[in-house]
Chains A and B, each alone.
Chain A
Amino acid sequence: MPHFLIIHKVAMYPESQDEWIDQWRDIKKEAHGDIEWIHSFLDPAASKLYCQWKAESLESLMKFLTPRILEQGPVEYSSEIVLFDTIWLD
């Protein structure tokens, strides 16, 4: 499956640790089948979240990113990306 990079502008930070973990767990749980959340990098200085996903298509991924997710972090950029894992050089 292709990989995608979604860059979110963080509009709302969670107010508590439980809210943060529960929200992210729900998103991960809801992402099943053809959609997989691989990992995310937070750039706190710019309030941006860089998320790597696997999905059948960018269209199916964007459909998955429900209005609730988009409200907390509107998408600034999305594109198909290719993995070059440096572990393959070992």
Chain B
Amino acid sequence: MAYPFPSEEWLQVLVDILNSDERYSEVAANWEGDMIVVIEPEDGDERRDLPAAAYLDLWHGKCRSARFLDLDGEEMPDAAFTFRARIDNIEKLFSGQLDPIQAMMTRRLRVEGNMAYMLRNVPTVLDFVRCCQKVPIKD
């Protein structure tokens, strides 16, 4: 089954994967940090309700909670990391067409947060993306 992206259904399937994936549990065992993923529109694309932002509380190989933020009605939580990218680049990341490190080095994926911590734990970030790739996206 495929899920629309971005959507609560997509996010909840990702949470289930993060909380059941043995490899993620092992690789991210030491990870302590919540994150916000801001999904921005492509230039001139008004078809989707963007920007949107998902908040994920990631802690020691599990996802304790996740939800989409109400960007009009609530303040952005003070998360350890904020990732920002246009939706077309996020879809490329999640389909495996764009390498996560390449996305960061070309600023197609922008990262706010402690870069030293992220680089020391880059396998966790890569495995998080691998889990995202497991959720089918509806065209």
Measuring CB to CB, which residues of chain A are less than 8 angstroms from any residue of chain B?
A: 13-17, 19-21, 24, 42, 44, 47
Contacts and interface: CB of A to CB of B under 8 A. Distances in A.
Contacts of A15: 114-116
A37 to B, nearest CB: 13
A44 B121 contact: yes
Interface residues of B, number: 14
Interface of B: 104-105, 107, 110-112, 114-116, 119-123
A20 B119 CA distance: 10
Contacts, number: 32
B119 A42 contact: yes
B116 A13 contact: yes
18 contacts: A13-B116, A14-B116, A15-B114, A15-B115, A15-B116, A16-B112, A17-B104, A17-B107, A17-B111, A17-B112, A19-B115, A20-B115, A21-B107, A44-B120, A44-B121, A44-B122, A44-B123, A47-B120
- Interface majority SS (helix, strand, loop, mixed), chain B: helix
Contact of B105 (A13, A16, A21): A21
B104 A13 contact: no
Contacts of B121: 44
A47 B122 CA distance: 11
Contacts of A17: 104, 107, 110-112, 115
B117 to A, nearest CB: 8
Contacts of A24: 105
Nearest to B116: A13
A38 to B, nearest CB: 15
A24 B120 CA distance: 17
B23 to A, nearest CB: 16
Nearest to B105: A21
